[in-house]
């Protein structure tokens, strides 16, 4: 499992061979990827898969959806769509074995991303368990939604050859099959014989007839065989990966990224805050706790009394996420904007947008603050100053800005170096350390996470009032703790 | 009769027992077979000495070393552990468990909430029947469902039985596999605060459960009479608490309370009332379709110590070890004859070594039978192992 990270993509695999490498939407990830990818793609793929896995966790634990039910699958798909993860929607909706370029690219991303997360999640037993549970859920969900015609192909590709038992043998044990199989109408099903230890989940729950060491399963139950194999394979691979971490982690950029991943943002959307932050404290907060992207938006607003749409959106949602109420937010924007325009104009043209952000207008959706991925990949046009400063600034501008803030030269050049190499989030992490005089090396994935980590560090420094009423009934629970919940992978059942 | 022997004599008698009566040869062959392809020396043995000193990570390379170790340490109790990749030792933290028989431990103390004849360490012919049922149910499941052939049954020396499955597949089964088998067999769950401890749902009964019920049925009347499950007010109230439907419970209570105390008659009335009730209440049957079976299971089904089965390195008392408190030998028995075991005919170290004892002759015979039973299992294990190795060509399939 060696990832060669290059700044510029020097992909060796070409589409012609992609179809051989990736014949099917559903993979068992037996062979690690060998191609070279850019660090940027590495990061993106990792975060996108993390989003997917966390969505799975959310579906069962926070939404309380029954595993693999229609509602469950619908939820996953709609979340993936919301996050713009089209290729995962494609892979999860109806696995097949198409051969379009988009099919192949989706599988390639799926493949690489899976292996990147192995590296991030092989570190401790808890992480391994979490990861295995999620990947198994994903696998099962995709197997269940697979197109019928793709099923045979899947078995063939993975060398899963089983022959069904004869009608005679079946009729000998038909009573037992009827008693002990979890399905109705077994008369019309073909049955297969597998060793009992290949379907332990069915054995454990007495949902299969076993005789002489063999379990008799219909086609439908093959998912048990596959998940058992896949689980064993994952367990072993993660154990091996954890032993080889040192070799992989010789590259500091990857260390930083991988370590950050599992504790990083991607699932929490910060759309509701537990505290109320008064706008009077924003000036001081922007110095102490805002990530650079927000700090520069704040400064720009104070300076120019105006922000363009992209900036208002990025900053406005961030403010909502840290706990600025709608009323305060309206006041905040109004105060600034009316320094250069009539109040009428503000109310007509801008107030709507503020309320919109809070889900009070338009589709009334409770919008989430943008994460780094989105911010970094945003287009920033002329006259706009949103986006990620590490990505969307020239080195000299960045350096000057940091100098202006009074940081020491060595720290500044560390940050600027990382940004130059394209490691924006690592640069952001170094900036975090610069501001706080620490060397934590946090993995940053979300501006609001930056803010919260900062607040944790300086607890008590600012005045925070507990929020009095929960406004939105679709309140999101803090999801950063998700991975602390004890998921028992053994409990996975159809 | 245990009392007539002096525990202090043990330290003098044990060396003689180990040298003359303990089936050292078969024992070593059994372990060697179970160790394959690891050498005998990679198996952990552990001794409990006279002063309760517990020695772990002992090992032997051959029968001669076993005899020497026996004479040197004179263990009051002998336990068997797992097979490691190296010679077991306390200092080694890198040793890995490679194999271990699949084991089951059933102890009558776990039946204290249902058995009425004895409590705790005590055991009599009446409560031994619980062990007979357990043995039959587990043995059948291991043989018919899982296809295991080399199954050794051992009397624990006091109030329970142990089962050792030596088939290669069982020995090398990983812990998820072990725990799945344990869960497959375990039907009684729930603690002090749960009255109804068996829930079979509303679907068809799984074949293995139906088979277990059939086995229990063979003994159930006997047990009702022996144990008088329903004969006192207290027992009756415990019984009534299991019934989930309040109306039905009251009906049953009213009738059973006024009846003669015979548990068998009370049980039969209960079954009648239940059946009638279900006929009249179609919805009721949906909630407690298998109530009769559930109660039978709660009273009679094997109560496994599943942690012993799930664990890989749980030490378990060796066959032919002496129980230090009773002096009884942990004899190997054939499951089909479990019924015939009379607890006072189980040989003790005292009677075996005392020519003058009136039980001596009988106990000698029973000891010989036990050794023969052991031999049979070990010989058949050796045969299957040889076949298996031939089939898979040496050690290519191993670990
Ligand atoms: S990395 Fe994220 S938090 Fe840091 S500046 Fe860029 S967008 Fe803001
Ligand atoms: Zn008794």
Mean pLDDT, to the nearest integer, of A450-473? Answer: 61
Closest to A452 measured CA to CA, from A432, A470, A469, A425: A432
Q: What spacing in Å lies between the alpha carbon of B121 and ligand 2's midpoint?
A: 10
pLDDT at residue A324 is higher than 80: yes
A210: Cβ contacts below 8 Å, ≥ 6 apart: A180, A196, A203, A216, B145, B146, B208
Can you give the residue range of the structural domain that contains A306? 279-477
Greater model confidence, A264 or A395: A395
Closest to B230 measured CA to CA, from B191, B275, B268, B187: B268
pLDDT at residue B2 is higher than 60: no
- Asked if residue A463 and residue A350 are part of one domain, the reply reads yes
Known binding-site residue numbers of A: 293, 372, 388, 428
3-state secondary structure A175-209: HHHHHHCCCCCHHHCCEEEEEHHHCHHHHHCCCCE
Catalytic choice (B44, B101, B305, B385): B44
- Asked if residue B55 and residue B11 are part of one domain, the reply reads yes
A-chain residues near B397 (CB < 8 A): none
Task: Pull the structure tokens for residue A234.
Answer: 């994952």
The Cα–Cα gap between B304 and B107 comes to: 8
Mean pLDDT, to the nearest integer, of A459-475? Answer: 43
pLDDT recorded at residue A272: 67
- Asked if residue B266 and residue B351 are part of one domain, the reply reads no
The Cα–Cα gap between B212 and B220 comes to: 12
pLDDT recorded at residue B253: 94
pLDDT recorded at residue A492: 31
Interface of B to A at Cβ within 8 Å reads 144-148, 169, 173, 176-177, 179-181, 183-184, 204-210
In a domain, A34, yes or no: yes
- Asked if residue B291 and residue B254 are part of one domain, the reply reads yes
- Asked if residue B287 and residue B254 are part of one domain, the reply reads yes
In a domain, A490, yes or no: no
**Closest residue to atom 8 of ligand 1, CA basis:** A293
Ligand 1 pocket, residue A375 CB under 6 Å? yes
Query: A183 and A222 in contact (C-beta within 8 Å)?
Result: no
pLDDT recorded at residue A374: 79
CA atoms within 13 A on the CB side of A155: 14
Query: A494 and A140 in contact (C-beta within 8 Å)?
Result: yes
Closest to B176 (Cβ–Cβ): which among A180, A200, A206?
A: A200
- Asked if residue A471 and residue A437 are part of one domain, the reply reads yes
The Cα–Cα gap between A51 and A265 comes to: 9
Q: Phi and psi of A60, rounded to 5°? A: -85, -45
Can you give the residue range of the structural domain that contains B32? 7-183+304-391
**Closest residue to atom 6 of ligand 1, CA basis:** A388
B203: Cβ contacts below 8 Å, ≥ 6 apart: none
**Closest residue to atom 1 of ligand 1, CA basis:** A425
Mean pLDDT, to the nearest integer, of A53-77? Answer: 83
3-state secondary structure chain B: CCCCCCHHHHHHHHHHHHHHHCCHHHHHHHHHHHHCCCCHHHEEEEEECCCCCEEEEECCCCHHHHHHHHHHHCCCEEEEEEEECCCCCCCCCCCCEEECCEEEEEEHHHHCCCCCCCCCCCCCHHHHHHHHHHHHHHHHHHHHHCCCCCEEEEECCCCEEEEEECCHHHHCCCHHHHHHHHHHHCCCCCCCCCCCCCCCCCCCCCHHHHHHHHHHHHHHHHHHHHHCCCCCHHHHHHHHHHCCCHHHHHHHHHHHHHCCCCHHHHHHHHHHHHHHHHHHCHHHHHHCCCHHHHHHHHHHCCCECHHHHHCCCCCEECCCCECCCCCEECCEECHHHHHHCCHHHCCEHHHHCCCCCCCHHHHHHHHHHHHHHHHHHHHHHHHHHHHHHHHHCCCCCCC
pLDDT recorded at residue A13: 43
Task: Pull the structure tokens for residue B157.
Answer: 């020396």
B363/chain A closest Cα distance in angstroms: 37
The Cα–Cα gap between A135 and A26 comes to: 12
Structural domain count, chain B: 2
Of B300, B335, B367, the residue at which a domain comes to its end is B300
- Asked if residue A305 and residue A237 are part of one domain, the reply reads no
The Cα–Cα gap between A261 and B27 comes to: 55
CA atoms within 13 A on the CB side of A172: 7
The Cα–Cα gap between B188 and B199 comes to: 8
Closest to A193 measured CA to CA, from A179, A213, A175: A213
The Cα–Cα gap between B293 and B217 comes to: 10
Known binding-site residue numbers of A for [4Fe-4S] cluster: 293, 372, 388, 428
In a domain, A294, yes or no: yes
The Cα–Cα gap between B204 and A348 comes to: 68
Q: Is there a catalytic annotation at residue B44?
A: yes
For B47-58, the pLDDT digits (tens) are 999 888 889 899
- Asked if residue B211 and residue B122 are part of one domain, the reply reads no
Atom number in ligand 1 closest to CA A389 = 5
In a domain, A10, yes or no: no
Catalytic choice (B79, B101, B107, B305): B107
Q: How many CB atoms lie within 10 A of CB A435?
A: 21
- Asked if residue B259 and residue B228 are part of one domain, the reply reads yes
Mean pLDDT for chain A? Answer: 82
- Asked if residue A140 and residue A288 are part of one domain, the reply reads no
The Cα–Cα gap between A13 and A5 comes to: 15
Structural domain count, chain A: 3
Closest to B302 measured CA to CA, from B159, B111, B61: B111
Task: Pull the structure tokens for residue A255.
Answer: 């260390």
Query: A198 and A228 in contact (C-beta within 8 Å)?
Result: yes
pLDDT recorded at residue A62: 60
pLDDT recorded at residue A7: 42
Whole-structure pTM value: 0.68
Mean pLDDT for chain B? Answer: 91
The Cα–Cα gap between B160 and B104 comes to: 11
Ligand 1 pocket, residue A426 CB under 6 Å? no
pLDDT at residue A102 is higher than 70: yes
Instruction: Indicate the pLDDT class of residue A461, thresholds 50, 70 and 90.
Output: very low
- Asked if residue B198 and residue B77 are part of one domain, the reply reads no
Cα Rg, chain B, nearest whole Å: 23
Q: How far apart are the first and last CA of chain B?
A: 49
The Cα–Cα gap between A115 and A381 comes to: 35
pLDDT at residue B136 is higher than 90: yes
Closest to A313 measured CA to CA, from A259, A257, A379: A379
The strand pairing partners of B65, in sequence order, are: none
ipTM rounded to 2 decimals: 0.92
- Asked if residue B128 and residue B68 are part of one domain, the reply reads yes
In a domain, A134, yes or no: yes
- Asked if residue A334 and residue A438 are part of one domain, the reply reads yes
Instruction: Name, of A13-22, A138-147, B51-60, B217-226, the range with top average pLDDT.
Output: B217-226
Judged by CB atoms closer than 8 Å, whether chains meet at B146 and A213 is answered as: yes
Mean pLDDT, to the nearest integer, of A48-71? Answer: 83
B-chain residues near A233 (CB < 8 A): none
Ligand showing the shortest atom-to-Cα distance for residue B128: 2
Ligand showing the shortest atom-to-Cα distance for residue A427: 1
Mean pLDDT, to the nearest integer, of A419-444? Answer: 86
β pairing state of A37-38 and A5-6: parallel
CATH number for position A51: 1.20.930.80
- Asked if residue A440 and residue A359 are part of one domain, the reply reads yes
Atom number in ligand 1 closest to CA A294 = 8
pLDDT at residue A479 is higher than 70: no
Ligand 1 pocket, residue A387 CB under 6 Å? no
pLDDT at residue A21 is higher than 80: yes
pLDDT recorded at residue B166: 96
Greater model confidence, A229 or B129: B129
**Closest residue to atom 4 of ligand 1, CA basis:** A428
In a domain, B322, yes or no: yes
pLDDT at residue A71 is higher than 50: yes
- Asked if residue A116 and residue A68 are part of one domain, the reply reads yes
Overall size of chain A counted in residues = 494
Q: What spacing in Å lies between the alpha carbon of B192 and ligand 2's midpoint?
A: 22
- Asked if residue B174 and residue B49 are part of one domain, the reply reads yes
pLDDT recorded at residue B191: 60
Q: How far apart are the first and last CA of chain A?
A: 32
In a domain, B399, yes or no: no
Ligand 1 pocket, residue A444 CB under 6 Å? yes
pLDDT recorded at residue A60: 74
- Asked if residue A309 and residue A395 are part of one domain, the reply reads yes
- Asked if residue A124 and residue A201 are part of one domain, the reply reads no
pLDDT recorded at residue A267: 46
The Cα–Cα gap between B127 and B159 comes to: 9
In a domain, A267, yes or no: no
C-alpha distance from residue A416 to each of A381, A399, B71 (Å): 22, 7, 76
For B309-343, the pLDDT digits (tens) are 988 878 999 999 999 889 999 999 999 999 999 99
């Amino acid at each position: 499992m060696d990832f060669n990270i290059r700044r510029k993509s020097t992909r060796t695999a070409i589409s012609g061979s992609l179809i051989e490498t990736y014949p099917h939407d559903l993979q068992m990830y037996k062979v690690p990827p060998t191609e070279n990818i850019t660090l940027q793609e590495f990061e993106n793929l990792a975060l996108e898969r993390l989003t997917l896995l966390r969505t799975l966790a959310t579906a069962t634990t926070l939404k309380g959806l029954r595993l693999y039910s229609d509602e469950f699958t619908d939820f996953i798909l709609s979340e993936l769509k919301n996050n713009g993860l089209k290729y995962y929607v494609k892979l999860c909706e109806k696995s097949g074995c198409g051969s379009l370029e988009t099919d192949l690219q989706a599988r390639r991303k799926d493949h690489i991303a899976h292996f990147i997360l192995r590296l991030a999640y092989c570190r401790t037993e808890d992480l391994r368990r979490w990861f295995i549970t999620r990947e198994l859920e994903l696998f099962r969900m995709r197997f269940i939604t697979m197109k019928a015609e793709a099923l045979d192909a899947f078995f063939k590709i993975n060398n899963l050859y089983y022959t069904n038992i004869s009608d005679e043998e079946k009729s000998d044990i038909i009573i037992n099959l009827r008693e002990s199989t979890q399905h109705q109408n077994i008369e019309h099903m073909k049955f297969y014989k597998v060793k009992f230890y290949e379907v332990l989940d069915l054995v454990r729950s007495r949902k299969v007839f076993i005789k002489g060491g063999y379990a008799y399963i219909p086609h439908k139950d093959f998912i048990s065989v596959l998940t058992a194999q896949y689980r064993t394979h994952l367990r072993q691979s993660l154990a091996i990966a954890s032993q080889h971490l040192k070799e992989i982690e010789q590259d500091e950029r990857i260390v930083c990224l991988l370590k950050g991943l599992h504790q990083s943002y991607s699932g929490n959307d910060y759309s509701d805050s537990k505290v109320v932050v008064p706008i009077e404290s924003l000036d001081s907060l922007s110095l102490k706790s805002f990530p650079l992207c927000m700090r520069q938006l704040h400064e720009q607003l104070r300076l120019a009394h105006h922000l363009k749409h992209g900036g208002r959106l990025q900053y406005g949602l961030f403010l909502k996420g840290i706990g600025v109420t709608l009323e305060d937010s309206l006041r905040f924007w109004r105060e600034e904007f009316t320094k250069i325009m009539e109040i009428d104009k503000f109310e007509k043209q801008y107030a709507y947008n503020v309320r919109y952000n809070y889900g009070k207008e338009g589709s009334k959706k409770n919008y989430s603050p943008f994460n780094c991925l989105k911010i970094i990949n945003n287009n920033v046009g002329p006259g706009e100053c949103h986006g990620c400063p590490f990505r969307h600034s020239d080195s000299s501008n960045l350096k000057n800005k940091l100098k202006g803030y009074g940081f020491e030269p060595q720290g500044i050049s560390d940050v600027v170096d990382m940004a130059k190499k394209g490691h924006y989030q690592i640069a952001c992490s170094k900036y975090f350390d610069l501001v706080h005089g620490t060397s934590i090396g946090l993995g940053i994935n979300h501006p609001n996470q930056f803010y919260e980590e900062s607040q944790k560090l300086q607890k008590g420094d600012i005045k925070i009032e507990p929020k009095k009423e929960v406004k939105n009934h679709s309140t999101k629970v803090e999801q950063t703790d998700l991975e602390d919940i004890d998921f028992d992978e053994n409990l996975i059942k159809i | 009769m245990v009392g007539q022997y002096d525990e202090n004599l043990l330290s003098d008698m044990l060396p003689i027992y180990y040298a003359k009566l303990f089936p050292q040869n078969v024992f070593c062959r059994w372990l060697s077979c179970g160790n394959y392809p690891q050498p005998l020396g990679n198996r952990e043995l552990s001794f409990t000495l006279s002063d309760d000193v517990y020695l772990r990570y002992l090992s032997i390379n051959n029968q001669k070393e076993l005899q020497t170790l026996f004479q040197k340490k004179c263990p009051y109790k002998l336990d068997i552990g797992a097979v490691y990749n190296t010679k077991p030792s306390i200092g080694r933290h890198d040793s890995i468990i490679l194999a271990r028989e699949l084991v089951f431990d059933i102890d009558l103390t776990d039946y204290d909430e249902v058995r009425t004849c004895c409590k705790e360490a005590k055991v009599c012919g009446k409560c031994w029947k619980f062990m007979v049922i357990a043995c039959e149910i587990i043995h059948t499941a291991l043989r018919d469902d899982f296809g295991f052939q080399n199954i050794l049954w051992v009397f624990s020396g006091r109030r329970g039985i142990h089962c050792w499955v030596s088939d290669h597949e069982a020995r090398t089964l990983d812990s998820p596999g072990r725990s799945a088998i344990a869960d497959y067999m375990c039907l009684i769950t729930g603690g002090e605060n749960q009255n109804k401890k068996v829930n079979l749902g509303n679907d068809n009964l799984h074949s293995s459960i139906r088979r277990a019920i059939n086995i229990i049925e063979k003994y159930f009347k006997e047990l009702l009479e022996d144990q008088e499950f329903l004969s006192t007010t207290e027992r009756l109230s415990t019984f009534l608490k299991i019934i989930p439907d309040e109306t039905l419970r009251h009906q049953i209570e009213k009738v059973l309370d006024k009846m003669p105390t015979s548990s068998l008659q009370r049980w039969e009335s209960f079954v009648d009332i239940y059946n009638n009730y279900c006929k009249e209440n179609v919805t009721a049957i949906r909630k407690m379709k298998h109530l009769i079976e559930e109660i039978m299971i709660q009273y009679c089904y094997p109560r496994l110590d599943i942690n012993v089965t799930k664990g890989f390195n749980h030490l378990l008392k060796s066959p032919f070890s002496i129980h230090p408190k009773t002096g009884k030998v942990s004899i190997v028995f054939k499951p089909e004859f479990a019924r015939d075991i009379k607890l006072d005919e189980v040989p003790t170290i005292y009677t075996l070594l005392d020519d003058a004892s009136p039980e001596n002759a009988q106990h000698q015979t029973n000891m010989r039978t036990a050794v023969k039973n052991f031999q049979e299992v070990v010989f058949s294990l050796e045969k299957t192992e040889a076949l298996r190795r031939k089939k898979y060509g040496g050690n290519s399939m191993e670990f």
